[in-house]
């Protein structure tokens, strides 16, 4: 799964990816950055084609289907499994025509580690969850593959929401977690965002683990476990 990530400088993303050079930005899209601990239900920057134009705008991280009666989350949809997208009643329609990209600098996963501790004078094995920060070795920004939905209330006011697609882990992530977010290489950006492209079989071939050799991971403090914490300390390496 992917339940936390960091986005520090949105403009750095625009510099890193030439395929995004023509994006139209809303005034508020990068207003709340940096986000060192982006969490589900927060409004976060997303790249998508809307009204035949590539835009960057804030969307709520937790996909709410357009057909929802009340526009409220009723099931877990902040992540979507790459392997079953085309079979999912919820995600399949958005996979065909409402794909997006979510910029990030890093993401977090919790590694289960068994340690031996003394508990009331007895040595016992205790399972701990160590938060890990994963990013590119050169610390370049990344783009998660995602899907988006536009829910409208009775007055027609829009609430755009999104989900992050996950895949099996690469060799770096495998000892840490059994899932990882799908990271989209630049050469596939235009195809992924093209809403007129409906052939999901080739698109599904893009949803694979990113090469482990280009990535790194380090342990961080439990600060990141609380979504209210939003400081550079969340990404700082600890032993």
- Report in angstroms the alpha-carbon separations of 175 from 81, 163, 169: 19, 24, 9
Kindly state the tokens that stand for 139. Answer: 């610390």
Burial class (CB in 10 A: 0-12, 13-18, 19+), 117: exposed
Annotated catalytic, 168?
Answer: no
Query: Of 2, 100, 133, 234, which is the active-site residue?
Result: 2
In angstroms, the CA 5 to CA 227 distance is 10
Q: Which residues make Cβ contacts (< 8 Å) with residue 195, sequence separation at least 6?
A: 49, 97, 98, 99
How many helices (H) does the chain have, and how many strands (E)? 4, 13
Annotated catalytic, 234?
Answer: no
Decide: helix, strand or coil at residue 59.
Answer: strand
Query: Of 57, 100, 109, 133, which is the active-site residue?
Result: 109
- CB count within 10 Å of CB 122 equals 7
DSSP class of 182: P
Catalytic positions, written as ranges: 2, 109
């Amino acid at each position: 799964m992917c339940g936390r990530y960091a986005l520090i400088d949105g403009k750095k993303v625009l510099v890193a990816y030439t395929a995004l050079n023509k994006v139209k930005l809303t005034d508020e899209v990068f207003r709340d950055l940096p986000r060192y601990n982006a969490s589900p239900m927060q409004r976060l920057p997303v790249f998508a084609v809307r009204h035949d134009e590539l835009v960057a705008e804030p969307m709520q991280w937790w996909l709410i289907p357009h057909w929802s009666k009340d526009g409220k989350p009723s099931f877990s949809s902040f992540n979507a499994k790459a392997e079953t997208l085309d079979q999912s009643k919820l995600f399949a329609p958005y996979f065909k025509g409402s794909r997006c990209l979510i910029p990030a600098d890093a993401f977090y996963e919790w590694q289960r580690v068994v340690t031996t501790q003394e508990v009331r004078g007895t040595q016992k094995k205790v399972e701990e969850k160590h938060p890990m920060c994963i990013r590119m070795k050169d610390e370049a920004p990344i783009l998660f593959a995602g899907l988006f939905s536009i829910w409208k209330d009775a007055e027609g006011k829009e609430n755009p929401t999104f989900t992050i697609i996950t895949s099996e882990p690469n060799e770096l992530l495998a000892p840490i977690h059994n899932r990882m977010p799908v990271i989209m290489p630049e050469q596939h950006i235009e195809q992924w965002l093209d809403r007129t492209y409906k052939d999901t079989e080739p698109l599904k071939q893009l949803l694979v683990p990113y090469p482990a050799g280009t990535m790194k991971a380090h342990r961080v403090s439990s600060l990141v476990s609380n979504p209210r914490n939003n400081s550079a300390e969340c990404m700082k390496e600890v032993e």
